[in-house]
Amino acid sequence: MPIELTMPRLSDTMEAGTVVRWNVKEGDAVKSGAVVADIETDKATMEMPCFDDGRIAAILVPSGRQVKVGTPIALVALAGEDLASVKAGGGSGSIASSSSPPVASIAEPAVSKAVPLTSVQTETTHGMEEFGAASARMRVSPVARRMAEDAGIDLAKVIGTGPSGRVIKRDVEAALAQVASNRSSATIMTGTAMSVSTSAAPTSVAPLTLALRGRDIALSSMRQTIARRLVESKTTIPHYQVTMKFGMDALLAMRKSFNDKLASSGIKLSVNDFLVRACALAMAEHPYFNASFAGDSIRVHEQVNIGVAISLPQERGGGLVVGVITDADHKSLRQLSSDARALAEKARTKGLSMQEMSDATFTISNLGMFGVEHFTAIINPPNSAILACGAAIEQPVVRNGVLCVGTEMQVTLSLDHRVIDGAMAAEYLRSLKEFIEEPETLII
């Protein structure tokens, strides 16, 4: 009997997944443990293995399609089974026979709102219902329907260019542009612009931007999650920021010395490795920076786990993930460097596991490597703080009353005022400054 490969649940919050890329094609032989597809979850792009030996009889969900968890996406024929017969069977619950439509497709514009999966399904279904007696068989996207209603456009006269003749956003935009062109022509011919525009205008005037042409890019699952979590963070956490400059000359000199000695072993310490170490040690001294707001209490965590923001390449969907270095206050610079490098490499190639992205108690976002001098970051719930690190810039400075050239870096803490007040933030930054400007304390 053939094996159904179904969309796996790869995170605790995952309700749907997107097949980013198939690594096999129909007819290919596969072994147990072989990676057959890359799946985009709501948090990251991860590899999907096959757990049986056999041959790929049918690929039911093409690349770029998003389907619900548990939906069959491929069929594997076992030894002795005929591929054509297995493919003809199609599986007991294949995507083709599913009564509910897929949540979204890369080939089709998606609703640009981060809403729960059930809401998207309901809205999509409603968007394809009948639109009046004159369009009983018309298929209309929700965005197109709202735009047409606002602008007074008769959808029965709009030609749909979407899948199966569906009327989508660009079709309504084209209709609006045609209406605007007709009004302009009428104004020139009559010479009475005011009277023509007044009589021809619909009761509800659409925004001028609706006439602009462009293309819609469907939000990936990760982008939807980023949008939802950041809006949640900014609207539920009372953010405020505190900024301080650190002298970097001593740390950079130490880093160069260490890297020269470690070159033969292939180890290269980054500035970020020193920052992780310094933040972890400062958190051990200031436990409220290792805490979360818990409604009627503040939960101080026992482990110091540093989350490091990692940017993903576009071929893996882009966006950011946070890799977590556990027990960071108990690890050496060499171990921190090894952990951070391994997390970044895996995130950009195979994708991080849920365990590798969970339980951060503090986050570091470093754009200094791109030359950014200063920025502010949004807190990553349930953390109470995130550190935004700029570039180490060589500039004129005053040291011991003397003007000289020095290297300084500007860092900004974004803080949850429910947990950490301004004085506590100043004390933490002072401790962090001591660790950075006296880097020998990081290795004692």
Active site residues: 417
- From 216, 217, 232, select the one nearest 13 (Cα to Cα): 232
Closest CA to 326 of 343, 355, 351, 303: 303
CA atoms in the 13 A half-sphere facing the CB of 267: 17
CA dist 248 to 11, 200, 389, Å? 40, 67, 12
Q: In what order do the strands lie in the sheet with 35-40?
A: 45-49, 35-40, 16-22, 65-68, 104-105
Q: How far is CA 221 from the centre of its chain?
A: 7
CB 390 within 8 A of CB 410: yes
- Token pair 């649940």 is found at 9
CB–CB of 155/139 below 8 Å? Answer: no
Pairwise CA distance, residues 300 & 284, whole Å: 11
Could you write out the DSSP letters of every residue in 52-72? S-EEEEEE-S-TTEEEETT-E
Task: Round the CA-based radius of gyration of the chain to a whole number and report it.
Answer: 28
